[in-house]
Chains A and B, each alone.
Chain A
Amino acid sequence: MAQETFSKEELSRYSRHLIIPEFNIEGQRKLKAAKVLVVGTGGLGAPLLQYLAAAGVGTIGVLDFDVVEDSNLQRQVLFSTNDIGKPKVLAAKERLEGLNPYIKIVTHNVLLSSQNALDIVKDYDLVADGTDNFPTRYLVNDACVLLGKTNVYASIYRFDGQVSVFNYTNKEGVVGPNYRDLFPSPPPPGLVPSCAEGGVLGVLPGIVGSLQANEVIKVITGVGEPLAGRLFLFDAMNFETRTVKVHRDDENPLNGKNPSITELIDYQEFCGFSSNKEEDVKSLSVAEFLDLQNSDEPFQLIDVREDFEYEISNLEGVHIPLADVEEEVGQIVSDKKVVVHCKAGGRSKKAIELLEKEFGFSNLYNLTGGIDAYFEEVDAN
């Protein structure tokens, strides 16, 4: 490979790197030659992308399928108010090119899936995972392991942050642990902390995503000791930090003693979401629900979200948080149609399954897509 060269402007721009003895022009050359894919341009992606761009990573892939919303701006400092409504990857590209015109930004305005992941990831040296859900976590991990790429991982939840470097091949050629060595399986939907009752302190992804950027730069340049085989934990609430060890597991289905996963799988199904299967509870679309509201047919509406979610906004349904459904079953009628909803449809489905199984209800309908879909539809009209 031809050695990377720098213009006078670039040398001036990167001068604070060049004067660090361990880093110098060699480190800067490695950054310029590097191709990094950042999956997710959310809270973690915001500091990550900006620091990688500013540092001079030569090619940065930006992957996201979403558009900028006002609720993103509390933490996604990559975007400004003017960006609301724009595809995130385009807003990110604009901002990053403004920050550093000497690098290349490649946009992937797609949802990462089992169908496209290998094809996208293969063109990069390294992946930084800043996504926000379990199926994509496992997808990114598996794609990286199957392609032999390092996966710099960071994750946040409310006040907690985690950082690690997965599938890192050290100078001796030894491959370190990956996400499946740490967490062989995700929490089932509905169990803490998997359900849609999350939330995150705005500054936390700023801190954790910056640590992630630091690890990306270390892996590329070979400076320092990357966080491979270790998991860093940050509790912002009490300001406690810990670093614990992570080991390879012989039982790992990807690269343990008897690998059983040799290609990407259905990650929604693996994580217990039945999006690709037929619904096994009865459901109503938002449009059908609106028709019901406008009809004379009597019905009861049940909202199974948490108290704080109900306080933010609600559809005036009877409020019974999922955890209290059994105890409060007396409030649920059986002589007319009952529509159950939550934020996105997962918890309400669980509530219906429980009520059908334990109490024999047969009049329950899940509001598909939950209150989120309801507001989307109502806003659109």
Chain B
Amino acid sequence: MAKIIIPTPLRKFTDNQAAFEANAATVYDAIQALATAFPELKKHLFDDKNQIRSFLRIYLGDEDINVLDKEKTALKADDVVSIIPAIAGGIN
């Protein structure tokens, strides 16, 4: 099972769960599985066209999936996927 690391700003939608195990073949499937498990998270992860939002960066290990196979990037059992949000500061 690949592990998805959930950033703290999104943990309020995952009952403060910091990581999620997904049995998924691709990065897209893994993120979808996360959104299915936590429905409130969905609108924060995907836009109206069901694309991963552009203020979120998705990484496989230390590499940006955009230089791999994008959302179709294949996952192995011990892979770690990170969702990295844009953050701006304390008041915004």
Of the candidate stretches A56-64, A109-117, A153-161, A284-292, the one touching chain B is A153-161
- Number of A interface residues at 8 Å Cβ cutoff, please give it: 44
In the bound complex, residues from chain B placing their C-beta under 8 Å from that of A182 are: 57, 86
Please tell me if A212 contacts chain B, counting CB pairs below 8 Å.
Answer: no
Kindly state whether residue B8 has any CB partner on chain A within 8 Å. yes
Residues of A within 8 A of B9 (CB): 157-158, 160, 192-193
Contact indicator A191/B87 (Cβ below 8 Å): no
A-contacting residues, B1-56, CB 8 Å? 7-10, 12-13, 18, 40, 43-44, 53-55
Assuming the A-B contacts A185-B55, A245-B62, are A194 and B88 also in contact, with contact meaning beta carbons closer than 8 angstroms in the complex?
yes
Q: Mark B72-87, 1 if CB is under 8 A from A, else 0.
A: 0000000000101111
The residues in A between 234 and 250 inclusive whose CB is less than 8 angstroms from any CB of B are: 235, 237-238, 242-247, 249
A156 and B90 alpha carbons, distance in the complex (Å)? 7
Q: Are B85 and A187 in contact (CB under 8 A)?
A: yes
Which of A160, A185, A192 is close to B54, meaning CB atoms less than 8 Å apart?
A185
Q: Which residues from B are CB-within-8-Å of A185?
A: 54-55
Given A157-B8, A157-B9, A187-B53 in contact, is the A193-B91 Cβ separation under 8 Å?
Answer: no
Q: Specify which of B44, B53, B63, B86 lies most central, judged by the most chain A CB atoms within 10 Å of its CB.
A: B86
Give A158 to B85 CA distance when docked, in angstroms: 13
> Are B8 and A186 within 8 A (Cβ)?
no
Closest to A185 in B: B54
CA–CA, A4 and B48, complex, Å: 57
Hey, which bits of chain B sit against chain A, CB under 8 A? 7-10, 12-13, 18, 40, 43-44, 53-55, 57, 59, 62-64, 66-67, 82, 84-92
